[in-house]
Chain A
Amino acid sequence: MTDLARRVVRAWRTELRLLCFHWTFPVLHLLWAALLLYTFRAWVGATAEAALSGELGNLTIGAVSLVSLIVGAVSASRSARTRFDDLEQTYPTGAEVLVARWLATVTALLTTLIVPLALALRVGPVDSFTRTVPRYLLAATITYAFAGAIGWCAVVWLGNRRWIYPVLAAGWVAVSPISRIMTGGRGISSLLDFTRMNDAEYQELWGRFLAGDLPALFNRFYAGLALGVLALAVLLTQQRRTRRLPVLAGTLVLAGLAFALTGGMRYHSLLTEWGAEAVAMDFSGRERAEVATDREVIDAWAIDADLRDLARPRFDARLVLRNAGSEPISDATLTLYHDLVVVDSSLPVTRDGDQLTLALPEPLAPGATTEVRLTYEGAFAVYVRYQQGKPQLTYFAGPGGVRLLPAVGWYPLAGVRGLGDLNRFESQAHAPAVFRLTVHVPAGYGVTSNLPPVGDGVFAADRATWAYLIAAPRLRTAQVGRVTVAAPDSLLPRARAYAARFDATLDRLTPFFPTVQIDGLTFALLDGMPGYVPETPAADQQILIVFDADQIDILDLSLEMDAQYFGSRVLNSLWTAAIGAPVDPDAERWFAPWTLDLFLWAYAREEGDPDKIAATIDAYGRSLPGGDNGSKLPARALLDIYRQRGNAGIQAVIDRLLSNPASLDGVTSDEAIAAWYREVAGVR
């Protein structure tokens, strides 16, 4: 070991010992562990990666950055506080002591990550944990290094002043709101907030892919600042000690700042680029979008999606086009996203933005059909501006995978359609048609669609009204009974367990809807903004249920959520399929009284045992705010019907509701609904 290395190691070791053997250190750890264990006693994220990349990770890095500021200042002022500084400065040392001691503060604070890491490990799975730990440690180290350097530099610059500590703490508290005020809550504020209290850049399925280079640039910005600030502290110290401008330290200050600045500028320009392209997304308006009346209708799609070269996804579409109008047509209009370039076609094609005009070889008579073949390719990304935050990537095809919904026009739609209307699903659905989708993906990629899977990478439905396609390296699928599970690899085991419950629920409830032909259910655990709406209709014989992968733990949390989810989501789809159209979510009341859904859910859950159904209904009523809010009476009426007439009694109620929903108009009170149930079922 060289002489210099010996001094570095010794200064680092001594400072670390002075920090860690002080009584405040174990107390801090005890309080920290208690806080984390209490805060995250029930929920830290769906997986270790979600936990460390999300709330747990942000809190631990953010909160400890405050401690890091203070500890940096405490460490820097130690010699002055103990009056050792005059001695220390006469020793033949250089910047290595300052750097080593600063490094010791960072090292000491890294021990605060033990508890969050243990919590994350408990969540598992292990591969998710091991995949995330290096990134989490890097982010924490950079943040602590930066905050520690600020603390050091403040003391070196201003001297050992007591007011430095509250000023540093106040600065930490203020940095997040001030950065948001300064930038109006728009993108760049997330860069200025070193406390990392901004939204997580992580999604269970895509990892950090959707955030692009932002996380790396964020780290680069603060690594550069940490270097620059630390070098400034060294420069100030050296200048005092040598009475010269230390060239190396000065160079490092400039290098660090340049590194940070270029990273920050790239971060900003990325957000600006995305913002310029971003589509506004406003959930406030729920009015129906206008749908163009189509002359043309597509009766069948056969799409071969070749995603093996994701830099250039290629689609081969065969369509059966029908003239739905009353006059012959000599051309046909289709809608296809403008970044998808038509490279081959069975008919001459002209293009205007998203609109394709196909010149038909001869006029197509009303009701007649013709087959069209289109080959198109292209990589693209669609960003949305969501609640004034950073633009977010929603639909894309390119390196990293594809996430495609009808809203982006990834397959040709008949007529003129406004694409990008992301939150109005109704305008994107098309007339029921035969749809066959064949997907080729790179090795290791998973693929899923809302259409029933019929083979390896092949999905098909006879009456599909829409189709999505997702291919991602982390996506995995599995079959559980009639349920197709699509989930990130880390969540697949848990998703399979939920799928079993869906399967059982489906088995018990579908007999009550004899007109509905449901072959299966796709349970997709996807991320927060995949573009679906809760009222997403079934793709023909397949129910689609999409759940936010980041929120999977909610499924475990309460009886209430359990009721809302497993029962009502399946029932929603069954009602929708039985009615033949999506149920209006804004209607004054849901199609069926919720007590009917409650009874059916309890029936499915308790396998038809009337005593257990009664107990479940009571327990559910008690779990509601204020206790039983009326569930008991109508649900008990249904239970009476069930006890007396069995499934036939319940079936009678459902049949009446489907055949004559208006008979419930004006029936609003619990007593009236209970009486209606009894009357319809012929039970008193």
Chain B
Amino acid sequence: MEIVIEELSKHYGSVRALDGVSLRVPGGMFGLLGPNGAGKTTLMRILVTLLAPTSGRVTIGGIDVMRDPAKVRARLGYIPQEFGFYRSLNAYEMLDYIGTMKRIPPRERKRQVEAVLEEVNLTADAKRRVGTYSGGMKQRLGIAQALLGDPDLLVVDEPTAGLDPEERIRFRNLLVRISGRRTVLLSTHIVADVEASCTGLAVLRQGRLAFAGTPEELVERARGRVWLVEVEPGEWDEVASRVQVVSSRTVGGRVQLRVVADENPLGRGVPVEPGLEDGYLAVSGSAQREEWLVHV
């Protein structure tokens, strides 16, 4: 299911959350990367009909989102960044309710509810009240509700925030598994999630599109610009102010930095093979640089 976004803008007063974004999502699992405040959630909310753009046009499977939101909703599954359920209902009841709202016929609904519960591994806990669920279980229930009605498009906004590593990996695998027959649009600021699962991706930066293509193309953007350099602890601040630091670790009293820079930093850097994170930093510039300091 193809998504076509043309010159999409959303303004909140003088703030431009989205500024003339044009993008084509051909299908499959597609990642949307960008730092916090880049406009990812705004874009997602426009796609799922929760928000009206200031200007521009979006079509999903040929349906104009602004002109015919009801038709879009009929083909949509959505997992927002933050969500909840009626706490006193159990998972089965909640999904059955949602299935009714999604216009699934009764007999088919029962089958689908049981199937999605199985899919997200919640069958054993289906009769427990949702209010007693852990964060990961709620997240899985979120996927389950999104899968009801067998939607052509699944929009997933920052899904792994708050999940422990094991849950995160399981969740990622689940998304990959279900993306075979549909378009999955995955918004995240965690590059590893996209790297592990997406066949295409786009990078947003300050409301504008900074990159669109495949993960490999994004990696290529960093080729020849990624260096490993050892510095004294006292040099850290100086290096960090000049180049983008991807990661760092302490080795024998010195600090080993992985940086993205057009030129060899301090003249003693060793060029290394770029990764997706490097590519992401290469296209997203210096914004939110500190976020990418991962101590290993």
Contact = CB atoms under 8 A, between A and B. Distances in A.
Interface of A: 3, 6-7, 10-11, 14, 18, 21-22, 78, 82-84, 86-94, 97, 241-243
A92 B100 contact: no
Nearest to B85: A84
Given A89-B50, A241-B69, A7 B80 contact: no
B101 A7 contact: yes
Interface string B253-278: 00000000000000000000000000
16 contacts: A7-B101, A10-B101, A21-B88, A78-B86, A82-B87, A84-B83, A87-B78, A87-B83, A87-B142, A90-B48, A90-B73, A91-B73, A92-B101, A93-B101, A242-B70, A243-B52
A88 B142 CA distance: 12
Nearest to A9: B100
Nearest to A241: B69
B209 to A, nearest CB: 24
A18 B102 CA distance: 20
A83 B83 contact: yes
Contacts of A241: 49, 69
B156 interface: no
3 residue pairs, one from A and one from B, having the closest CB atoms: A83-B84, A92-B73, A10-B100
Given A10-B97, A91-B101, A93-B101, A86 B50 contact: yes
B103 A92 contact: yes
B145 interface: yes
A94 B98 CA distance: 14
B76 interface: yes
Contacts of B105: 3
A22 B82 CA distance: 24
B82 A3 contact: no
A14 B87 contact: no
A84 B98 CA distance: 11
A154 B49 CA distance: 23
Contacts of B80: 86-87
A91 B102 contact: yes
A210 B137 CA distance: 64
A86 B145 CA distance: 12
B85 to A, nearest CB: 6
Interface of B: 48-50, 52, 66, 69-70, 73-74, 76, 78, 80, 82-89, 93, 97-98, 100-103, 105-106, 142, 145
Contacts of B66: 243
A11 to B, nearest CB: 8
Contacts of B83: 83-84, 86-87
B74 A92 contact: yes
Nearest to A240: B52
B69 A242 contact: yes
Nearest to A96: B101
Q: Pick from A3, A22, A90, A93 the residue with the most CB of B within 10 Å.
A: A90
A59 B87 CA distance: 34
A304 B24 CA distance: 96
Nearest to A3: B103
Contacts of B49: 89-90, 241
Q: Pick from A82, A86, A88, A97 the residue with the most CB of B within 10 Å.
A: A86
A405 to B, nearest CB: 63
Contacts of A91: 73, 98, 101-102
A90 B78 contact: yes
Given A242-B69, A243-B52, A18 B101 contact: no
B50 A14 contact: no
B50 A90 contact: yes
A456 B49 CA distance: 79
Q: Pick from A22, A78, A89, A92 the residue with the most CB of B within 10 Å.
A: A92
Contacts of B50: 86, 89-90
Contacts of A86: 50, 78, 80, 82-83
A97 B101 contact: yes
Given A7-B101, A86-B83, A92 B70 contact: yes
Nearest to A86: B80
Nearest to B87: A82
A322 B77 CA distance: 99
B92 to A, nearest CB: 13
Nearest to B74: A92
B143 to A, nearest CB: 12
A6 B85 contact: no
Contacts of B74: 92
Given A90-B73, A242-B70, A243-B69, A84 B86 contact: yes
Contacts of B82: 83, 86
Nearest to A242: B69
A644 to B, nearest CB: 81
Given A87-B145, A90-B73, A92-B101, 8 more contacts: A3-B105, A7-B100, A18-B88, A18-B89, A83-B83, A87-B78, A88-B101, A92-B70
Nearest to A83: B84
Given A10-B100, A90-B78, A84 B84 contact: yes
A97 B100 CA distance: 11
B79 to A, nearest CB: 8
B69 A6 contact: no
